[in-house]
Structure 1
Amino acid sequence: MASTFYMTCPQQHRESNKLTNSERQKLRELQDVMNAKRRYSAPPDSEADQWYAGFEDVDDEHGHTIKRGIPVWDPKAEHDEFFRIRFSHYDRLSDA
């Protein structure tokens, strides 16, 4: 079974083409780290500020969604870095 966090709508795909190869590679690495650290149970209250809660869909080997809305917690540091890089081209556009 596989799951994915990458955004796939056409507009977002076009926007991802504005990233450099090194940015795309870093996103893949961060996604792998987030997948490895992802929690499927709520973190202890003492660690709650280190995690983002979200939901995940699970696909079978053919790419068909077999489960929807599974609660997950992603590490905040990697999540923030992922989105900083993912949308960094907006900063470059505003500086132009």
Structure 2
Amino acid sequence: MLFRSPGGDSSLLGPKSARAISLENRKMSFSVIVGRYTIVATSGMENGSVRVGKAEAEAYDVIDRLQGGKVKVEKQGVTFDTAWFYCIRRQACARGVSLLH
């Protein structure tokens, strides 16, 4: 696969590496960091739960970024509101704060 430079130059730069493709896909996906959690937009569980941009999001996953570089999926295929409140409640509980409705 060949690609063009980010500045719009039409000269071909050569084959794209797997790492470059991976970084490009990450740039195009939507995510929100909430403390130690990350909310990631996905195509939904029935579509393979692939990371997508905000406009294409069918569902959201909550990822717990644990110490030592380990990650764990906490919630999968939920609405943004559900993901957001899950993260906020977990953060508050860890700090000993009670949230009132």
Q: Same fold (TM over 0.5)?
A: no
Larger Rg: 2
Higher strand share: 2
Q: TM-score range by the shorter chain?
A: under 0.3
Q: TM-score, normalised by structure 2?
A: 0.24
Q: Which has the higher contact order (CA 8 A, sep 6+)?
A: 1
